[in-house]
Chains A and B, each alone.
Chain A
Amino acid sequence: MTDWTRASAADMAAAMQRGEVSSVELTQAHLDRIAGVDGDVHAFLHIDAEGALATARAVDEARANGEDLPALAGVPIAVKDVLVTEGLPTTAGSRILEGWIPPYDGTVTRKLREARMPILGKTNMDEFAMGSSTEHSGYGATHNPWDLDRIPGGSGGGSAAALAAFEAPLAIGSDTGGSIRQPASVTATVGVKPTYGGVSRYGAIALASSLDQLGPCARTVLDTALLHEVMGGHDDMDATSLDEPVPAVVDAARDGARRDLSGVRVGVIKELSGAEGGFQDGVKQRFDEALEHLRAMGAEIVEVSCPSFEYALAAYYVILPSEASSNLAKFDSVRFGMRVEKGNVERTMAATRAEGFGDEVKRRIILGTYALSAGYYDAYYGSAQKVRTLVQRDFDAAFAEVDVLVSPTTPTTPFKLGERVDDPMAMYLNDIATIPANLAGIPGMSLPAGTAPEDGLPVGFQILAPAREDARLYRVGAALEAALVDEWGGALTAQAPELEVK
């Protein structure tokens, strides 16, 4: 009997079309897998078996009736708990929203429903997407399927772990400074942060509005592209949404899989690949090998310098907390969510927020409140916005020379749970390579580059492209993936240790 949970979304869709498997069978297989392994992994905060199966049954009936169905109809998906789902609990990983059932669907949720994809459940995340390990979730950390003692990345560790543990073939993520790419890197999965405005943010619980972007997560580049096309496109509910067609990313992925990169100029970002970034040896080694593959497929590799990136982390940790401090003000115990009653409304609000928010959220709210306060605005927020301009200029100059930029996604393989939880600065350094893309609004992908020889844990390869050129990520990514899978004799995820099914 085929274990459908190991298949790609593209293969599942094709098999359903050929009548080899039903959506109910696929959905049930994933629900069974979740029941078997999620006790250890803890990728999900909420499972909607009933809703997923109802969607699956409807798709199977429609297919039986010969209806035209969207490409991914019947393929189950996991949704990061940052995205609002009508009728399904949505918490953004925070206790302050425990039990909240939204009265509306986010735009991407609506698109998933229109694409007729069964929603398996909501995945765990660092509270309000603040973190790189899911250890800041209000509901306990997610564990990396490669090593249950290690972090699955964050903030979207739940979505990435669900993919790596074969609990779902596809997942929704959100990326403010790397929350799709860094978890993809440490779980050997694929994740894309689209161009800012490429996917509607309406219904995505805001962390930092000018940095946030929803994106697709999967185990293959093609699956990621298929989901990208479902999610993307203009939305008049999001003023920052681009009024442009979705880039042809599926075509680009298929094109890339032919492994011809002749004429493609690839820039290696000096500041994000050298010893100065604190990159682990095995990470560096796998990155260099990936470059060799690109060169072998005809790409020209050059080194480019982005001197302002030195200031990117600091700018990010000013802009993000500033916007977050304002975005999170709505959690006040009046209209929804937790209330800790304590005399008058002011004290009730303060008591609720003290109880409902975790330490990392409090740290960042205080930091943002400080950066925006009278007398400090120019030195912090104002300056950070200028650094943002410098980072954009660095990218503009680099993309005048090359088609895509590359770097390791994270400086290290996944660290141990608990190792950095009390050292915020060390945690923040995880994002050093992913943050610049968010500051500039450009698209980025992380895909598996292998495992580090010293610890056998996954290494991610990051590709960045100019704004609106998301298709380039898929072309280069699919080419590299094809070359590496060939070398490995199969997907890297197959090399992960088997989880105990309980």
Chain B
Amino acid sequence: MSSLERSDVERLAALARIDMSDGDLDRLSGQLAVIVDAVAKVAEVAGEDVPATSHPIPLSNVHRPDAVRPSLAQDAALAAAPEAEEGRFRVPQILGEDA
């Protein structure tokens, strides 16, 4: 597995919505490359026949009944919002489209 490049970090930061300055990229890229190389060994050990574990304790069918619980009051829902307007969360202009 080849090491992580600075350009990879730049692309990943964009995907993760974190602005990075050149200085950030310089600092973090080197550290990340070391970490990526170190963790790549996970691919060495387990064969095709080993199943993946996503939950440490296997459970299934944990569902809740379709019964209404109280919601938050509108002012409580909006209390921590950086900006609110007309009972809604206000955000700056959205450029992208619906996914």
Contacts and interface: CB of A to CB of B under 8 A. Distances in A.
Is there any pair of Cβ atoms, one from A and one from B, under 8 angstroms apart in the complex? yes
B35 A425 contact: yes
Given A315-B42, A335-B80, A387-B46, A366 B12 contact: yes
A331 to B, nearest CB: 10
B13 A366 contact: yes
Nearest to A237: B64
B46 A332 contact: no
A390 B1 CA distance: 22
A180 interface: no
A242 B32 CA distance: 37
A266 interface: no
Nearest to A209: B55
A343 B15 CA distance: 18
A335 B34 CA distance: 36
Given A335-B80, A335-B81, A425 B52 contact: no
B62 interface: yes
Interface string A460-478: 0000000100000000000
A38 B59 CA distance: 43
B92 A348 contact: yes
A103 B17 contact: no
A65 interface: no
Contact of B46 (A362, A369, A383, A467): A383
A384 B42 contact: yes
Contacts of B64: 236
Given A197-B57, A365-B18, A337 B92 contact: no
A441 B72 CA distance: 33
A219 interface: no
Interface residues of A, number: 73
Centre residue among A345, A362, A384 by max chain B CB count within 10 A: A362
Given A366-B12, A373-B12, A373-B15, A336 B80 contact: yes
Contacts of B68: none
B52 A380 contact: no
A425 B91 CA distance: 38
A367 B52 contact: no
Interface string A333-366: 1111111010111111111011001010011011
A317 B35 contact: yes
A148 to B, nearest CB: 28
A439 B54 CA distance: 10
A363 B35 contact: yes
B53 to A, nearest CB: 4
A332 B17 contact: yes
B82 A353 contact: no
Given A354-B20, A366-B9, A344 B56 contact: no
Given A103-B79, A332-B17, A370-B12, 11 more contacts: A242-B57, A343-B93, A353-B16, A380-B40, A383-B42, A385-B52, A386-B42, A386-B45, A425-B34, A439-B56, A441-B57
Q: Which 10 A-B pairs have the closest CB atoms?
A: A441-B56, A386-B46, A385-B52, A354-B19, A336-B80, A339-B82, A388-B53, A383-B42, A239-B62, A314-B39
11 contacts: A101-B80, A315-B42, A335-B81, A345-B94, A349-B17, A353-B16, A362-B28, A383-B46, A385-B54, A441-B57, A467-B57
Interface of A: 100-101, 103-104, 195-197, 210-211, 236, 239-240, 242, 308, 311, 314-315, 317-318, 325, 329, 332-339, 341, 343-351, 353-354, 357, 359, 362-363, 365-367, 369-371, 373, 379-380, 382-390, 392, 424-425, 428, 438-442, 467
